[in-house]
Structure 1
Amino acid sequence: MLLWVTAACAQVGLVRLDTGMLGGVAENDVLVYKGVPFARPPVGELRWRAPVPAEPWPGVRQADRFAPVCMQSGTYPPDAAAEPTSEDCLYLNLWRPADPAADKLPVMVWIYGGGLENGSSSTPLYAGDRLARQGVIVVTLNYRLGVFGFLAHPELSDESPYHSSGNYGLLDQIAALRWVQRNIAAFGGDPSRVTVFGQSSGAISISALTTSPLARGLFQRAIAESGALFEPMSLSDDFMLHGAEQAGQRFAKRAGSGSIETLRRLPADQLLQIGFDPHLIVDGHVLPEPPYDAYHSGRQQDMPLLVGFNRDEGSSFIAGRTITRENFRHELGRSFPDLLVKLAAPDPGDTDEAARNAAAMFHRDMRFRWDMWTWAWLVSNAGRARVFLYEFARVPPYRPGDRYFGWGAGHSMEMPYVFGHLDLQPLAWSAEDRQLSDMMVAYWTNFAKTGNPNGPSLPEWPAFESKTQRTMQLGERITQTAFGDTTTLRRLDRIYGAARFLQEHYRGLIVGVVLLLLAALFALARRMRRRRASRKA
C-alpha cells in the first residue's frame, strides 16, 4: 500500500520538459512545482559565467520542495524568515490551476526585489496560489545576487566572447524566461502571453529587460512596482563597464586575490563577507545602453506596461531621524549631494512637521516616483503601447511597536495585497483591506490576460497619457485621480536633461559649470545604492 501511495503522489501533475519528466504537488485546487532547475549550478568554473541550461535527468523528478536561495547575508522583505543559502540556486517555482482542462493560460513571472543583495523566490509572501486561482500560471525565479551576480572584472570581460562582464543576475532572469518559452506549454501555459512583474530591484531589472536585446520576445507585458532605472547612468563610472571593472579589481584586492582564477576558488561564504555594492551595468551586451536612452530613441520593446509607486515610500529613509525646519537641508544632504538638494528640494514649510513630511516626499520622489513617472511618460509619449500608472496609498493596520508603524503606505507594503496574502501578517485587516487585495489581484491578473487591468465589477482604470496624467489610486478610495504635484519631478527632469546634453555635446571639456553638475550627479551612484538601503523599508 505504501508503494502505491508513493507512486500515485509522484504522478500528480506529471509533465514532460525538455530536460525530463517532472511531478508536482497538489495544494487544494492548485498544482505546485518547487525547485525546478532552469540552469546548471553556477559553481566552480561556472562562477561568474553566463548561465548554462540545466542538464537532463532520468526518470521522474519530484518537484516537492523549494531549493536553497542564492547567496545573501540578509532577507527581503526584512521581516521574512531566513532560508538556506547556496551558490547552487538557479531554480524556479510554478503554480497553476489544478483543472486539467485549463490550457493556454497567461503566465506571470515574478522577479523579487531586495537591492540585488537579498531576496528569494520561495518567500511565502510570493506564493502564487491566490493569483493562480484567477486563471494564470505563476512562476517565481531565483537569480544570483551581490558579488556572485554583478561582479565585473577585466579578466571576466576577456573570457567573454562579447567582451563584457557583470549582469550575471540579469542573465539568470533571461535564462529563466527562455526556460518559460521552451517549457510553459507543458503546464498549459501560453508562451505568447508572458508578463514579467517585480518590485523594487526586481522592477529595476524589468526596466532593463525591456531594453535588452537578449530578452526581446521572451515576454509581452510588464508590471513594475516601485523601481526603474531611468537616471543618466553614464554620469557615474561605476555603472559603465570600465568603471565597474575597476570596482571589480578593487574587490579582488580586498579579497586578497590577484586573479579571477583564485577568486573562483575562494569559498562563497568568504566572498560574501567582503563589501560589494551590486548594481546593473551598461556592458554593451546584456544592457547596451541606459534604459532612458533606449526609450527616448524608441529602441525598447513595445508592450503594455503597468507601473506605480507607494505614496509614502520615503518614510523608511527618514525613520529615526530628527528633522526640523532648521536642519532640513542638512538632513537631505546626508543622502543626496548638496547641489542637488539646492536645485531640486522643496521648501521645508512653516513647521517641523511640515519639514519632516517634505523630507519624506523628497526621498520618495528622488528614489521612486520620478522613475515611475518618467517611464510612464516616455511610453505614453511614444504612442506605441498603453501604460497604466498607480499610486498605492493604503496604510496597513500596523500597531504601535510594530516595525513599520508610522511609515504610512511605505516601500513594499503593496505586496501582500498583490499576492492576496494579507493573513501572513497577524494584523487587524479590515473588510476594506480584503476588498482592496481582491481588486488588486483582479487588476494584476486581468493585465496578464489582456494587457489591460480593467474588468467586470472593477472601478475603471484609465490609461496614463502624458497630457492628462490620470493615475489609479489604490487606497482608502479606489479611484482614478490626477497624478499629483510634479514640481520636484520637473526640477529633476531639467537637471538630468541638462546633464545629458552637456555630456553629449561637451564631452571632455573642463568647464566649471560642467564639473559642478557632474559632481552633483556623480552621487547618483549613492542614490542608486538605495536599492540596497531600500530593503530596510
Structure 2
Amino acid sequence: MIGKLIAAACALALHTSTAGAQVVAVEQGRLHGVDRGRSVAYLGVPYAAPPVGQLRWRPPIPALRWSGVRNASSFAPACMQRGVSMPGETPPTTSEDCLYLNVWTPRRIGRRAPVMVWIHGGGYANGSTAMPLYAGDNLARRGVVVVSIAYRLGPFGFLAHPELTAEGGGSSGNYGLRDQIAALTWVKRNIAAFGGDPNNVTVFGQSAGAMSISLLMTSPQARGLFERAIAQSGGVFEPLQLAPQYLLANAEHDGVRYAASLGANSIAALRALPADRLLDGEAGRVSHPVIEPVVLPRAPYDAYLAHHFADVPLIVGVNAEEGRSLVDVSGVTAANYAAGIRDTWGELPPALSGAYPFTTDAEAQQARVAFETDLRFGWDMWAWARLHAQEASHSVYYYQFAQRPPFPSGNVRFGWGASHFAELWYMFDHLDQEAWAWSAADRATANAMASYWTSFARTGDPNEAHQAPWPRFVNDHPQVLELGRSSALVAPLTPQLRVFDSVYAAVRGRPFGSREE
C-alpha cells in the first residue's frame, strides 16, 4: 500500500532533472526556495494542518493546498514552549501553528539522493528547527537531502487524559509522535520533488530526538517510513517499573491533575484556553510519550523481544561526558556526593551507589558525571545496541563521542568536555558557526563524523566514508568506535554498565535480553 502511495505521489511531484531548481511542486502546491550556493533550502513547508482549535490534541491531518507559489525562504515559528533546549540559545518565536518542516537539497543532483530526516531534542518540552546549528546546508553539500521536522511539545504534544482516550478510541497522548509520523509520511510522498529518494530515508536525532527514534522503530504506525536510523544519546529501554509515568493509566492521572492545575475540569475547557496558558500549572507532568494501544502498544525493550520493530541498519552512540552539561558538579565533594545523588534520584541499590568509587572531591565530581552519563544515556544506548545485534538481521554500529570542543569558559555546565549535545557541531559540520578555537583535531573529527553519517545514509554502511574502519557491533565481541581523541576501537563493557544490568534484571525478574517464560 505504501509503495502505491509513493508511486502516485511521485507522479504528482513535478520534479525537474536538477534539484537546484528553486521552484518545486509538492502535493499541496508549488514552493520557491532559497539558493545557498552549493545547496537550496526550502523553509517553513507545512506538512500538516495547524493543530489549533478543535484540532488541539487530535492526530495531525494533511496540510491544505495553496494556490500560486509559496515563499519558502524563512523558518516557521517553533512549537509552543518556554525556555531553551541548549545553554546559550536564544528563545525561539513560538506558535501553536507549528507543524512545518525544512528541506536542504544539493544544488545539483545526478540521481535520486539519500534523505536524512532530523528530529531535534529538548526533552519533549523545547527545541526548534530554526536553530542555526541544525541547518542542513553542509550535509546537503555532501550529496544528501536533509529534512528537519517540528513536532508538538510539552502538553500540546503529550497530554493523556481519560476524555482524550475516549475520543481516540482507547488512545491518548503521543500527539508529538504522531506529528513525526505524519512528517515522515509527507517525506515519503513528496521528497522526490526535491531530488530525494523516497525509498532511502534515514531518520537521525539527538536526545529526545533519539528517544523518539527508539519509539518510531517500535511503532506499527511508523513501519515502512524509513530505511535506516541514527540515534545520538537517547533511547527508552529502562524497565517500566522504574518509569511508571509512561503507562497510559498513570499518564491519564497526571493529565487530570494538570488540567486541575489550570482550573479546567474538562478537555473542552482546556481547548478553550489560550495557548500560552497551557504552559502554566503542572505542564511538566505531561511532557513525555505514553505506552498506549495505537502508536506505542509496547515499550521498546518488549517490542524488540517480540520482534515488533523496524529491522533496519542502525547507528547508536553516546558522548563520553554527557553528565557534564546535565548536572552542575562544581559543588560536589566527597562528603556530599551520596546526599546529592539521593536528593536527585532517591535511594539507590547499594551495588549501584557503590559502582562509582572516589576518595577526593575531584574524583567525586568525575564519579557524578559518569553516573549521570550512564544512568541517563549510557545504559540505554548499550542496551539498544545489544538488542538490535541480538534480534535484527541488519547491522548496528556503536560509537562514543570523546572530542572535547573548545567551549567558551565561564559556565561549568556548558564548558566542560564531550558533554550532552557536544557532538552536534561536528555531526552537522558546523564548526565555522562559532568563533571558538577549533583545532585541526576538531576539524578532522567533524569531517569524519559527517562522512560516516552521510555514508551510512547512502548505503547503510558507514565504512564507505574512507575513514577509520568501523566494525559492526556484535554481542560476542562488542567494539565501539571512539569519535575524536584517538578514533580507536574501545570496549563498552564497563563494570558500571554491568551493575545497571543486574539492577534492571532484578526489577524485570529476568536477565537482560531474555524472553518471559
Is the TM value for this pair above 0.5? yes
The equivalences for 1:139-288 within 5 A come to: 139-160=147-168, 162-277=169-284, 278-288=287-297
1:68/1:400 CA distance change after superposition, 3 Å: closer
Secondary structure at the counterpart of residue 462 of structure 2: coil
Partner of 2:78: 69
Matched residues in 2 for 1:399 and 1:199: separation?
Answer: 22
Partner of 2:104: 95
Secondary structure at the counterpart of residue 200 of structure 2: strand
The equivalences for 1:312-461 within 5 A come to: 312-340=321-349, 343-402=352-411, 404=413, 406-461=415-470
Partner of 2:486: 477
Partner of 2:124: 116
Matched residues in 2 for 1:383 and 1:214: separation?
Answer: 19
Deviation at 1:499, TM superposition (A): 1.6
* Paired residue type of 1:179: W
Contact 1:121–1:142 (CA under 8 A) maintained in structure 2: yes
Partner of 1:302: 311
| Residues 449-492 of structure 1 deviation map (CA, whole Å, 9 limit, x = unaligned) | 0111112531101111112110000112212222252x221222
| Residues 91-121 of structure 1 deviation map (CA, whole Å, 9 limit, x = unaligned) | 000000111x433111000000000000011
Deviation at 1:350, TM superposition (A): 2.7
Residue 25 in 1 paired to residue 49 in 2?
no
* Paired residue type of 1:389: Y
Contact 1:344–1:488 (CA under 8 A) maintained in structure 2: no
Contact 1:221–1:303 (CA under 8 A) maintained in structure 2: yes
63-72 vs 321-330, greater mean Cα deviation? 321-330
TM-score, normalised with respect to structure 2: 0.92
Secondary structure at the counterpart of residue 454 of structure 1: helix
1:335/1:305 CA distance change after superposition, 3 Å: same
State which of 35, 57, 71 in structure 2 corresponds to 1:48: 57
Partner of 2:500: 492
| Residues 407-446 of structure 1 deviation map (CA, whole Å, 9 limit, x = unaligned) | 2110000000000111222211111111110111100000
Partner of 1:137: 145
| Residues 298-331 of structure 1 deviation map (CA, whole Å, 9 limit, x = unaligned) | 2111011101000011123441552233332222
Matched residues in 2 for 1:340 and 1:127: separation?
Answer: 43
| Residues 245-288 of structure 1 deviation map (CA, whole Å, 9 limit, x = unaligned) | 11000011011011101110100111112232211100111000
Contact 1:345–1:488 (CA under 8 A) maintained in structure 2: no
Contact 2:84–2:90 (CA under 8 A) maintained in structure 1: yes
| Residues 52-93 of structure 1 deviation map (CA, whole Å, 9 limit, x = unaligned) | 110111111121111000001012223222221000000000
* Paired residue type of 2:484: G
1:229/1:347 CA distance change after superposition, 3 Å: closer
Matched residues in 1 for 2:411 and 2:474: separation?
Answer: 39
| Residues 5-24 of structure 1 deviation map (CA, whole Å, 9 limit, x = unaligned) | xxxxxx95221211111221
401-410 vs 167-176, greater mean Cα deviation? 401-410
Contact 1:464–1:471 (CA under 8 A) maintained in structure 2: yes
Secondary structure at the counterpart of residue 190 of structure 1: strand
Deviation at 1:404, TM superposition (A): 4.7
Matched residues in 2 for 1:445 and 1:456: separation?
Answer: 8
Contact 2:47–2:183 (CA under 8 A) maintained in structure 1: yes
Matched residues in 2 for 1:182 and 1:36: separation?
Answer: 14
**CA RMSD between the two structures:** 1.7
Secondary structure at the counterpart of residue 349 of structure 2: helix
* Paired residue type of 1:196: V
Matched residues in 1 for 2:356 and 2:60: separation?
Answer: 49
Partner of 2:514: none
Structure 1 residues without counterparts, runs of 5 or longer: 1-10, 503-537
Secondary structure at the counterpart of residue 500 of structure 2: helix
Partner of 1:527: none
Matched residues in 1 for 2:231 and 2:501: separation?
Answer: 21
Matched residues in 1 for 2:280 and 2:434: separation?
Answer: 31
* Paired residue type of 2:296: L
Matched residues in 2 for 1:247 and 1:359: separation?
Answer: 30
1:342/1:322 CA distance change after superposition, 3 Å: farther
Deviation at 1:384, TM superposition (A): 1.3
Matched residues in 1 for 2:193 and 2:390: separation?
Answer: 39
Matched residues in 2 for 1:81 and 1:317: separation?
Answer: 19
* Paired residue type of 1:110: W
Matched residues in 1 for 2:141 and 2:281: separation?
Answer: 43
State which of 473, 482, 490 in structure 2 corresponds to 1:464: 473
Matched residues in 2 for 1:78 and 1:18: separation?
Answer: 38
How many residues are paired up?
A: 490
Matched residues in 1 for 2:374 and 2:420: separation?
Answer: 12
1:267/1:490 CA distance change after superposition, 3 Å: same
Matched residues in 2 for 1:267 and 1:405: separation?
Answer: 34
423-432 vs 336-345, greater mean Cα deviation? 336-345
Structure 2 residues without counterparts, runs of 5 or longer: 1-19, 511-517
| Residues 150-184 of structure 1 deviation map (CA, whole Å, 9 limit, x = unaligned) | 00001111111x31100000000000000001101
* Paired residue type of 1:238: Q
Matched residues in 2 for 1:113 and 1:341: separation?
Answer: 32
Deviation at 1:191, TM superposition (A): 1.0
1:456/1:52 CA distance change after superposition, 3 Å: closer
Matched residues in 2 for 1:159 and 1:176: separation?
Answer: 23
